[in-house]
Structure 1
Amino acid sequence: MNLPVMPPVAPMLAKSVQTIPPGASYEPKWDGFRCICFRDGDEVEFGSRNEKPMTRYFPELVRAVKAELPERCVLDGEIVIATGAGLDFEALQQRIHPAVSRVTLLAEQTPASFIVFDLLALGDEDHTGRPFTERRAALETALADVKAPIHLTPATTDLEVAGRWLVELEGAHLDGVIAKPLAGMYQPDKRVMFKIKHVRTADCVLAGFRWHKSSTEARRLVGSLLLGLYNDDHQLQHVGAVGAFTAKRRAELVDELSPLVLRDGDGHPWQDWATAEAHQAQRLPGNVNRWNATKDQSFVPLRPQRVLEVKYEHMEGTRFRHLAHFVRWRDDRTPESCTYEQLDQPLTSALDGLVPGLGA
């Protein structure tokens, strides 16, 4: 492979802001695997956000790149799985599998799409030093006739349209809106774009915690608090965790939570978390981490008696898509009142109305 921009490349990043800034180019924020795609003739490579190759997991996209993209190019985009109900991140996670036979089967059963939103190189030209408006114009020309499963993301400079996207596309499981400075150069691994995401609150049951990775016998530190919500069958489902605490607060939580630690003989809703069969019936913590099979997923179970309010962005199935953020303790709430019914239900939205042929 011999391109003006060579792998690995860390993609350009965005920083969170509360409102959509004026005077920018706006795009939907796709919820998938961020990748830089490198093509030099028959050589194709997808590099992930952490610069690890993703190519082997998506053979159908390798074929599509060779059929649809320019002979020599470097493109920034997102690998997604789209259905009639919107993006399916859980199905996308299943695509990361070590067995070739499984990868081949899933490529047929749950084919992925590649949404392109920036141009780093085309032919022998490096475009990273050009303003975004020039990169976008060149990208639109280069991908004018591209066909599924490769798609060019829609973009607009209309603030009102961006506002509608932020509201309407949540039902299709998109993350929010990205705002790109019109004169901005492509800066790998720099937070020079802006992201506007949905933020909501929920009251959750505290059901356990994990020790911080730096915790020792001499200095115990709480790493993350495990959150639960009751479903319609009155089962406490694991919905996520909060973990952004200072070192001082992590040490304080050890003493604060000690009265809730289970005594010998006490039962717990997640006591069977280590049994694989138990995970089939309900959402439990402790299952094998897909990204790091050696990661310790064990936790300290607590009597589910305290409630805390957290901020979250959106749901992935029955759990929070990203790490939630602690707001406050809610000692005025009973654990039994913390159910899924409190969660907002976003409006549904069809993806093919945004990008023709995507998720149809």
Structure 2
Amino acid sequence: MWVGQAVTSERGGMGAAGPVLRRPVAPMLAAPVGVVPEGPGVVHEPKWDGWRVIAFREADRVYLQSRAGRNLTTYFPDVTRAIRSAVPAGVVLDGELVVWVRGQTSFPLLQRRVTAGRGLLRLAYEYPAHVVLFDVLADVGGRVVLDLPLAQRRARLERLVAGAPAALQVTPQTADMAQVSEWLTHWTAVGIEGVVSKRLAGRYQPGRRGWSKFRSRIVTDAVIGGVTGSLRHPESLLLGRYDRRGRLRYTGRSHPLAAEQAVEVGGLLSAPRLAHRGTQAHPWPQPLPASWSGQFDQPEPLRYVPVEPTVVVEIDADVAFEHQRWRHRVRYARARPDMSIYDVPLLLEENDDTSEN
């Protein structure tokens, strides 16, 4: 795994000999946990629904790097302009790119930056992006601060962006569990997926899961419209919900099923009924389009086995439900043979729009 390192340069990158960060840098990551950790020296930050970004303020330019190491710079001229105007040369920042619309984050508008083409500048003007910052990897002049404790890095970060444009904001941080409960209970509607917990004494470890993340989750129901694997031995479930016009719309995919779950579900599934002229009457294309996956990095079309959409299952999902789909994979909980497909909540479009997938 590439991790990015402090490397010695004879010219020091900023005019002085010393260690500098060579991009790409693998961001420090968080391991999922079932409960929010507590204890002395532990602090918590909101987990924002956006794109992770490492921002390099170089001597003559700004470079934006995705979590996977891709160059995002050209897609966010508004962000690069804000960083160039407010952040000193040599600084490397870690944060989350977000776009706000009517008081909440919009993941689809982030994705549109990549496909906007000639409409990019207009899109950036109408829906400007912001960076919610939570760490600093290099200070003024390129001084690497990975080994400093989080408490000191946080203090440096706040000083660096004091008075910066509104596009650059430092994320809230707290040790108060009442505040954490407030975020998880009332802030999910504005774009918080959960909380990330960190140790104030911890150093920044590129590429390592040294933080903890707790996702806000919901228990709900969906209809199986297809599977990967086979009808009798499904590997994962492709899920949907009906809209007001009675069409089954694709809403997401499950994590891989355990062996006993595959047996339970496989015994309930059947192939789609045949329509006129002997063709299968199934509402989804084969394969599923790559764009339906909601992934940023190299999505691919998915071949699957269609099923008759009559089986309802209970699922455990996080709150990242954008563009009428769960962006992350959901967890299968149990089959609901006691429920009809008409008991599953309808898929309601924004502004009650019922356009096709």
Fold shared, TM-score > 0.5 on shorter chain:
yes
Aligned equivalent of 1:338, options 344, 348, 357: 344
Aligned equivalent of 1:309, options 308, 314, 333: 314
Aligned equivalent of 1:206, options 218, 224, 237: 224
Is 1:239 the counterpart of 2:229? The answer is no
Q: Tell me which residue corresponds to 1:5.
A: 21
Aligned equivalent of 1:321, options 310, 316, 327: 327
Q: Residues 339 and 269 from structure 1, CA distance in 2 versus in 1: closer, same or farther, beyond 3 angstroms?
A: farther
Aligned equivalent of 1:187, options 183, 186, 205: 205
Is 1:230 the counterpart of 2:242? The answer is yes
Partner SS state of residue 21, structure 2: coil
Q: Residues 292 and 253 from structure 1, CA distance in 2 versus in 1: closer, same or farther, beyond 3 angstroms?
A: farther
Q: Which has the higher contact order (CA 8 A, sep 6+)?
A: 1
CA contact (8 A) 1:238 1:285 kept: no
Instruction: Give me the TM-score of the superposition, normalised by structure 2.
Output: 0.81
CA contact (8 A) 1:32 1:89 kept: yes
Matches within 5 A, 1:108-119: 108-119=125-136
Question: CA shift at 1:269, angstroms?
Answer: 3.0
Aligned equivalent of 1:42, options 60, 66, 76: 60
Distance in structure 1 (CA, Å) of the matches to 2:199 and 2:129: 29
Is 1:107 the counterpart of 2:124? The answer is yes
Question: CA shift at 1:330, angstroms?
Answer: 1.2
Distance in structure 1 (CA, Å) of the matches to 2:116 and 2:174: 39
Amino acid at match of 2:251: V
Q: Residues 156 and 288 from structure 1, CA distance in 2 versus in 1: closer, same or farther, beyond 3 angstroms?
A: closer
Matches within 5 A, 1:146-295: 146-211=164-229, 222-246=234-258, 256=267, 259-263=270-274, 264-270=278-284, 273=285, 285-286=288-289, 288=291, 291=296, 295=300
Distance in structure 1 (CA, Å) of the matches to 2:341 and 2:271: 14
Question: CA shift at 1:79, angstroms?
Answer: 0.6
Amino acid at match of 1:311: D
Q: Residues 73 and 26 from structure 1, CA distance in 2 versus in 1: closer, same or farther, beyond 3 angstroms?
A: same
CA contact (8 A) 1:223 1:250 kept: no
CA contact (8 A) 1:26 1:179 kept: yes
CA contact (8 A) 1:41 1:66 kept: no
Partner SS state of residue 115, structure 2: coil
Partner SS state of residue 338, structure 2: coil
CA contact (8 A) 1:222 1:253 kept: no
Distance in structure 2 (CA, Å) of the matches to 1:269 and 1:334: 19
Question: CA shift at 1:14, angstroms?
Answer: 0.8
Amino acid at match of 2:80: V
CA contact (8 A) 1:203 1:310 kept: yes
Q: Residues 211 and 98 from structure 1, CA distance in 2 versus in 1: closer, same or farther, beyond 3 angstroms?
A: farther
Aligned pairs, number = 322
Offset from partner CA, 1:192-227 (integer Å, 9 cap, x none)? 111121111112111112359xxxxxxx97453111
Partner SS state of residue 151, structure 2: helix
Q: Residues 306 and 340 from structure 1, CA distance in 2 versus in 1: closer, same or farther, beyond 3 angstroms?
A: same
Question: CA shift at 1:94, angstroms?
Answer: 1.0
Q: Residues 309 and 103 from structure 1, CA distance in 2 versus in 1: closer, same or farther, beyond 3 angstroms?
A: same
Question: CA shift at 1:319, angstroms?
Answer: 2.0
Amino acid at match of 1:188: P
Larger displacement relative to structure 2 (13-22 or 251-260)? 251-260
Q: Percent identity over the alignment?
A: 32
Distance in structure 1 (CA, Å) of the matches to 2:125 and 2:347: 36
Amino acid at match of 1:225: L
Distance in structure 2 (CA, Å) of the matches to 1:298 and 1:124: 47
Amino acid at match of 1:286: P
Partner SS state of residue 223, structure 2: strand
Distance in structure 1 (CA, Å) of the matches to 2:283 and 2:150: 52
Amino acid at match of 2:249: Q
CA contact (8 A) 1:35 1:47 kept: yes
Offset from partner CA, 1:11-43 (integer Å, 9 cap, x none)? 111112222222312211111110111111222
Amino acid at match of 1:304: P
Amino acid at match of 1:96: V
Partner SS state of residue 26, structure 1: strand
Q: Tell me which residue corresponds to 1:347.
A: none
Runs of at least 5 residues in structure 1 that lack an aligned partner in the other structure: 213-219, 275-283, 343-360
